[in-house]
């Protein structure tokens, strides 16, 4: 299939050191590299993907070499002017849980970085720490290109970096300032917990790990949809993802889109970034949010199947995987 889209992907390309739960050490440049390359493979040669990031001067040549392998990726908006970029160490405790240390800090992506990209068909915003994307940048993009959807990963605003370099979860306190400029909001259950602080949670509750379950998701999703978000997507690891959106009658729909089963998980690093690529692709190419979530699940599953970017497939192969998992029907269970 011939796709002709221009997509900007905003976020860091950190120099990652990953220690797997099996004790293996993997070094690579991650985060939006997963999103960019996943979209590159899906959209094909007639589309153009523009990664927007800041990096250290010592890391930029290696990233350019990686992205140069993909003819539809224009990496001219990855700059090293400030000589600042993310450097992160991820130590996995088990297949999904990890301890994180950050020793390098990317300077924020501002209006200046995206002024030449106001004609894109979509913007995929994938920060990993709270300071990487300026709110004014999203506001600028929506003011100049209201029709292009903004797909936003809540991983960034719900994660902070301490003075000791520890990466910890935090409440997204100014959430409602961001929501009017977001069309598709993606997160996992832990991040959702950081988004739905409420008066019922008193100080005594915050002194411990207060209870947050899937039953808390519908009121949170309804709040986001009322603020202008079109689709809320919450990943549930092996279960798949829950999506929330308004139907033609203005009523909220909630659907579970089951995960794509994989028998052998090799590396889960970058699954969320890859999921965002599939979600963006589905939103761009289909008016069906369930189908978009299916593509997201497929790319998240593919990411687990190796340590390199070779895990990503072109549209034809990806579509075969989606149909094998969900059938020709676009309905979720």
pLDDT at 208: 55
DSSP 123: E
Q: Which two tokens stand for residue 100?
A: 């994180």
Q: How far apart are the first and last CA of the chain?
A: 27
Which of 18-22, 229-233, 237-241, 304-308 has the lowest average pLDDT?
Answer: 18-22
pLDDT digits (tens, 9 = 90+) for 125-150: 999 999 999 999 999 999 999 999 99
pLDDT digits (tens, 9 = 90+) for 226-281: 999 999 999 998 899 999 999 999 999 999 999 999 888 877 788 999 999 999 99
Residues paired with residue 26 on neighbouring β-strands, in sequence order: 18
Which of 17-21, 64-68, 107-111, 258-262 has the lowest average pLDDT?
Answer: 17-21
Buried b (16+ CB within 10 A) or exposed e, 193-226: bbbbbeeeeeeeeeeeeeebeeeebeebbebbbe
Residues 299, 277 contacting (CB under 8 angstroms): yes
**C-alpha radius of gyration, the chain, whole number:** 19
pLDDT at 172: 96
Residues 151, 231: Cα–Cα separation, whole Å: 9
- Look at residues 32, 38, 30 and name the one whose alpha carbon lies nearest to residue 127: 32
pTM for the complete prediction? 0.93
- Cβ within 8 Å of residue 318, ≥6 positions away: 41, 42, 295, 298, 299, 302
Burial class (CB in 10 A: 0-12, 13-18, 19+), 176: exposed
Query: Does position 200 have pLDDT exceeding 80, yes or no?
Result: no
pLDDT digits (tens, 9 = 90+) for 79-112: 999 999 999 998 988 877 889 999 999 999 999 9
């Amino acid at each position: 299939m011939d796709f002709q889209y221009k997509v900007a992907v905003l976020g860091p390309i950190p120099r990652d050191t990953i220690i797997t739960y099996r004790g293996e050490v993997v070094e690579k440049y991650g985060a939006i590299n997963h999103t960019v390359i996943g979209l590159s493979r899906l959209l094909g040669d007639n589309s153009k993907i523009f990664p927007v990031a800041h990096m250290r001067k010592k890391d930029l040549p290696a990233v350019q070499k990686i992205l140069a392998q993909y003819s539809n990726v224009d990496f001219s908006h990855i700059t090293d002017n400030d000589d600042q970029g993310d450097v992160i160490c991820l130590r996995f405790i088990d297949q999904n849980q990890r301890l994180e240390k950050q020793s390098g800090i990317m300077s924020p992506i501002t209006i200046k970085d995206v002024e030449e990209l106001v004609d894109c068909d979509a913007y995929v915003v994938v920060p990993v720490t709270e300071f990487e994307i300026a709110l004014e940048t999203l506001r600028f993009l929506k003011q100049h290109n209201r029709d292009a959807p903004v797909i936003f990963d809540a991983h960034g605003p719900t994660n902070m970096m301490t003075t000791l370099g520890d990466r910890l979860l935090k409440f997204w306190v100014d959430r409602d300032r961001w929501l009017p400029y977001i069309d598709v909001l993606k997160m996992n259950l832990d991040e959702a917990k950081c988004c739905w602080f409420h008066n019922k949670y008193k100080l005594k509750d915050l002194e411990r790990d207060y209870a947050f379950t899937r039953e808390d998701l519908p009121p949170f999703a309804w709040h986001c949809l009322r603020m202008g978000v079109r689709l809320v997507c919450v990943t549930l690891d092996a279960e798949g993802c829950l999506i929330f959106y308004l139907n033609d009658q203005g009523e909220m729909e909630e659907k579970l889109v089951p995960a794509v089963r994989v028998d052998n998980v090799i590396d889960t690093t970058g699954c969320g970034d890859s999921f965002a690529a599939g979600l963006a692709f589905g939103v761009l190419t289909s008016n069906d949010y369930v189908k978009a979530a299916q593509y997201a699940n497929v790319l998240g599953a593919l990411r687990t199947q190796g340590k390199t970017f070779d895990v990503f497939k072109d549209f034809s192969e990806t579509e075969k995987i989606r149909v094998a998992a969900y059938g020709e029907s676009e309905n979720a269970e």
